[in-house]
Amino acid sequence: MAKERLVFLSPVDPPGAWRGAFEKAAPDVDFFVSRGEMPSPETIDWAVVWRPPAGLLARLPRLRCVFSLGAGVDHILIDPDFPRHVPLCRVVDPYLTSGMSEYVVLHVIGHQRNLLRNIADQAAARWSPFLPRQADETRVGILGLGELGLDAARKLRPFGYHLAGWSASRKTEPGVESFAGRAELGAFLARTDILVCLLPLTADTQGILNAAAFAALPRGAAVINAARGGHLVEADLLAALDSGHISGATLDVFETEPLPATSPLWRHPRVLITPHIASMADPRTTAVAMADSMARLRRGEPPLHQVDPAKGY
């Protein structure tokens, strides 16, 4: 019997580590790296992808499952021809989860303690002591209380922040006030000094970080976006920073990536930029989970971490 074939396609993830991980986790599956071309499309059983070219997955007649290389699947569902009858899975990976929580804790503490002021003072060789706000005087609000948002909340909790989360459905997490649905978004924002976005990007959440949201935050609030560039209206953030209403922002994701050198965000003194590296799936653990899903599908069972394409997460 011919070997099953897996196509790996990503403009950003180096294939070497993934090849090594799949050779261990799924030694019977042939690992093929595509850079957009697809010879013998009829031989492909599995696809592991980041931002696949539109229409490409629809041309694989034997495809049994599509695995996103990230926690989000918006980069796949943006393809109008995505074959919706094929199961689609996102990454749920302990390294991705803990990496995101490290990023969130780092930058929440950075905004609470006004690290941006230290950076500006150092650039000006200015010795200017100040008292940071206390953690227990600081209200942190997390947009998205799924796998990533809950872990971040649990890791922030020991510092003493007042925590809240906003999600589509109500959550019961000790020490985290739960706000749910559009009707409660305003109240959630009004009590948030440091806003963290970890939402999936869907039609409902596109542009959620906009002028109205910034106006609903208290004066001096900070914004951290580690989700998707599509959540943030960059021009609205710049206006809110320049008016002084928003005190600072940490951004990992952008409307256009790589962020163009001409973007005013690069040079804004109160914006900290990271190049979409907040957190990544680790090939070693993620390939094992994907191989497990492949085994499940062979047995006629559903794969792990399957996404509902209608919901987008």
Identity of the residue, 103 or 166, whose beta carbon is nearer to ligand GLV in the bound complex: 103
Catalytic residue annotation: 228, 276
Match 């780092």 to its residue by tokens.
106
Instruction: Name the residue nearer to ligand GLV (CB basis): 70 or 146.
Output: 70
Q: How far is the CB of 161 from ligand GLV (least distance, A)?
A: 24
Smallest separation, CB 100 to ligand GLV (Å) = 8
Specify the DSSP class assigned to residue 301: P
The footprint of ligand GLV (CB under 6 A) covers 70-72, 91, 96
User: Alpha-carbon distance 313 to 310, whole Å?
Assistant: 8
Question: CB of 172: closest distance to ligand GLV in angstroms?
Answer: 26
Smallest gap from residue 120 Cβ to ligand GLV (A)? 29
Cα atoms in the Cβ-side hemisphere of radius 13 Å centred on 214? 27
Say if CB 71 and CB 124 are below 8 A apart: no
- The strand pairing partners of 222, in sequence order, are 194, 248
Q: Which residues of 23-35 are buried (b: 16+ CB within 10 A; e: fewer)?
A: eebbeebbbbebe
Q: What span, in angstroms and rounded, lies between the C-alpha atoms of 281 and 99?
A: 9
Closer of 5 and 90 to ligand GLV (Cβ): 90
Residue whose beta carbon is closest to ligand GLV: 70
Question: Which of 95, 159 has the CB closer to ligand GLV?
Answer: 95
